Chains A and B, each alone.
Chain A
């Protein structure tokens, strides 16, 4: 409740032209959005671009935010739309597979980004390995199923919220999740992750 009120205050100030409030709001959600974008795009640079697009669209649409829903849900709806557009555009680009998830995680550009956790190389490697495996698993899914898995398991939205964010019916969301689970049946990497 306190979080929501704080969001509302920051939004109000940001709408009044306060850069500091906008930066505070961005800092509060950028980790969530960046990691979401990372899982959806598998590329740090793409995730960065997508995250910036999401925040730009959020800022532009801020005057139309009515405050009835949680800001997070409203922003993630924008993120879902932007992600769909982004993945569709990237799908049309024949060069996008060049950024495919590599088996050799040491060569992944993600390793060059700052980790929030430990500076211990062994720990760092373990963290990156886990994330790489999760990304590999998600990469096996088509974009629309991946989006549902992301919103359900990683963002913990309800089916109703996911339906609202993706613009599809609840039944379609459930079916997509079930299809995704069936598709992952043949892969055993998930056990390695845990």
Chain B
């Protein structure tokens, strides 16, 4: 009987943070002969991902509380046993002493509890919470009880808990930024995944992910800085939460004399919440831009500009900050978009379907809106309309865009802005589909993101190109600036050397990708 080319071990009731798991998996891949290495919690989503990675999961009975270590090899049969056994042993050694992590010693004592931290820093007024979602709400309540504003980085917080903590915070005049808030900017200081952009007169209220990052970057490209970027979490403007924190943040920024232009952006709120926000902004009598991507509100009025896209929002806000005409800035931008048709011609039209592979949720949403107007319905795991939901997020159908930052991909795994390997594999998988004509993706830079995402994606692109030849055009946008740790120009160079068509914004990339397939 031939020996298996895989080995799977389950470690029961064991939890490691996802950064450790990624570092160990990466280290195992450096071992000669290991072709695939996966360390993930036994969630349903991770079973699917491992299955699509070629693992035979028959008989594997891990629960979401168990760690699965899985390794595959492509060495000849006689060498497999020892290699796989050695790789599993190595994985356990690395877990005990994770590679690339600084030893927790040799310096000043760092408090491990909230009370301890407040003893050392009694003037602190903001806590960043990054713990497993089911505990995060209680930790947040504890912080609010101690008078701290909260950045809730954790996801998977139940919506009832979100409402509870936001109501408690609102009563005390505190902010809860999140849950699932990856980015905030306080007085020009970025926390979480954020770009190295200048400080300036604009302030932003956003769901707090890549929408905020994209507008932050687009403002910087126009020479305008940001003072505050307040994340509220994507669910805040839904009916269940009622926009509690969005309104709290809007009112705080309207009252701040240093804020010259207010920008509120994100996916469309519930209609009644959108109305409340619009009324609050209008009452503030401050130049303002609402950028609800694909929102219901239409028509600029009373000094408030209504935008439907992220770059448009930034272009109008930048013009207002410079004392220029916001409407004219928008017209100029849309004229530039028209010139993308010529670029599509130059690249060469392709036939088939568009496949978008995103790390940013708002970018994916915006990409769908733009591509839908040009190509028709787009399927997604986060679709514009329910009926366009992909049955299986790992299998594209017709025109599809997948948000890899959704919970299904991040439970017990790193966010795709940190670990690009899943998307790199998917790029290759999509290229094997003969009906695919364009692959579109985002590259998000900044503090906290992968230190070289373009290089991480490059392997997938090379394999895709060798599988598909010239049949597929690759289009990307880079959400970042040259002052970011990854250097946007350097990332662009890596992608362009591979023949990827890189655009200045997600709105442009989505348009160009769709235009290449148009007609």
Same assembly: no
